[in-house]
Copies of this chain bind each other. A is one copy, B any other.
Amino acid sequence: MDIEDVRRRLDDFTAERDWAKFHTPRNLALALVGEVGELAELLQWRTDAEVLEYARTPHGAEALADELADILTYLVELADAVGVDLGAAVHAKIDKNAAKYPVHLASGSNAKYTELRRDDGGEPGDDDG
């Protein structure tokens, strides 16, 4: 799937319904939060094993796919609204992350990059410094 095709398809969808006037950055951000909330509701009382089991049922696979698609929809529309090229942005961010988390330091650790150079390697998961 090409993100640019999705963007164009959503753009047509919006234009046909005269919805562009609602698609301000903050409206879209709040709509994105609403969809993330719906995703969280699918996960909140399930363990990871139960999520994976649920994802293998037709009903669960569709519910998860729908919520992930809704999040992507508002993300693409929000990027469009603020003039961000989402494809370029994600590749640029992976490059930045590769520099922040060099393989030899980050391997197997969930420490935040600001903690990686500490001699003791940081408390795992210490992403709150």
Does A44 contact B34, Cβ atoms closer than 8 Å? yes
Supposing A1-B4, A19-B110, A84-B55 touch, asked if A36 and B32 sit within 8 A by C-beta, the answer is yes
Does A94 contact B41, Cβ atoms closer than 8 Å? no
User: Contact flags (1/0) for A95-121 with B, using CB distance below 8 Å?
Assistant: 011100101001110100000000000
> Which residues of B are found within 8 Å of A37, using beta-carbon distances?
33-38, 40-41
Closest A-B pairs by Cβ, 3 of them? A37-B37, A1-B87, A69-B93
24 residue pairs of the A-B complex, CB under 8 angstroms, read A1-B4, A1-B90, A17-B101, A17-B107, A21-B108, A22-B110, A26-B30, A26-B47, A29-B43, A30-B40, A30-B41, A30-B43, A30-B44, A32-B39, A33-B33, A33-B37, A34-B38, A51-B82, A55-B82, A65-B84, A66-B96, A69-B89, A69-B90, A73-B90
